[in-house]
Amino acid sequence: LGEDRINNNDESAHYYIDRANVKFTTKDLDIYLGRLAVSFGKPQFWNLFDYYGSSYLNQDFKSGIDAVRIDKSFSNFSGVNIVVNKIKKYNESGSYLENTLTQSYQRIGIERELSFLLRGYTTFNNTDYALLYKSEPEGHFVGFEVDGEIGSLNIYNEIAYLSGTDKITMPGSYQGNLLKNYFMNVLGINYRFKNNLQITVEHLFNGLGDSSNLDASNIRYKNGLNKSLNEHVTGISLNYEFNPLLIGKYDSKIAWQDSSHQHNITLIKSITDNLDFILGSQINIGDRPSGSNWQNPNIQSEFGRQNNKYFFQLKSYF
């Protein structure tokens, strides 16, 4: 339930109501039905098994999907998660729409297929392990996660491989295919200081990134098929609690191949127990696109193609 009040190229305003679902519970089995926020994995910047991708803004928010979720535990430290929902299938018989509002070619699929995610997890010697399978619009993801500690340092790694893709040609004058089999990896380190400062560093290797053709990589990104335009991107996050009612966040990302970078600053003020006020900004630094139109933008850098953003949010929790 929601509506777009403003939806222009340089500004937007929306409202929506989400998360309406029903939960059935027994001793070691939970079943959810309805509008669900479904996300697994530890990475902050690039969660390879997140249903919602990794937007450059408001990454903490997970919008809902219509799904059935089953959580079955075998012990305190092991179990399985199953998620079933409908997805749009990209296939060779589809077509592209020139979406002038988002200024991108949008692939239009003609099928909606049943999709599911299967995750098995366990803990051994104080280290968490998980195996995952997830059917995607573009193929099949298989992955492995490990999350543990060395002393007071938290280290985690998420590996994923996509296979079974259809050969879908790129739109317009672009060469090559929209999809291909590829490998991704996210390595992360997290440390919390005694003064309430927390630092997180993550590095993404994206086998679908194409630094030599950022325009084509951007089409994949805008169709929800890509985590980044480049192959190698690093993110750093600082989180500081000034007091229990005021939290400051700063994160920065750098694309190594084109040296562009992005900076996000956010202040979160707790007004009441269920009401937060959020003020933030996003600054993008890098070479700007040099093309004459959006069909051939001639993108020069990962973050230089992004506009700077300033925003505020009022979040109410029920």
- Domain of 143, CATH number, reads 2.40.160
For the stretch 203-227, pLDDT in tens is: 999 999 999 999 999 998 888 888 8
- What is the pLDDT at residue 177? 86
- What is the pLDDT at residue 56? 47
Residue that is written with structure tokens 């089999």 in the block? 181
Q: How confident is the model at residue 54 (pLDDT cuts 50, 70, 90)?
A: very low
Query: Is 41:53 a contact under the CB 8 Å cutoff?
Result: no
State how beta strands 104-108 and 111-124 pair: unpaired
Separation CA 144–CA 268 (nearest Å): 33
Domain count across the chain = 1
Q: Is the pLDDT of residue 303 over 90?
A: yes
The per-residue pLDDT of the chain, averaged, comes to 87
DSSP code string of 219-249: HHHHTT--S-SSSEEEEEEEEEEEETTEEEE
For the stretch 257-293, pLDDT in tens is: 999 999 999 999 999 988 999 999 999 999 999 988 8
Average pLDDT, integer, range 69-97: 88
Q: Is the pLDDT of residue 114 over 60?
A: yes
Average pLDDT, integer, range 35-46: 83
Residue 110 tokens read as 């003609």
Query: Is 171:105 a contact under the CB 8 Å cutoff?
Result: yes
Residue that is written with structure tokens 């093309």 in the block? 291
Query: Is 262:282 a contact under the CB 8 Å cutoff?
Result: yes
Range of the structural domain that residue 91 is part of = 2-316
Residue that is written with structure tokens 């919008």 in the block? 63
* DSSP-assigned letter for residue 289: P
- What is the pLDDT at residue 17? 64
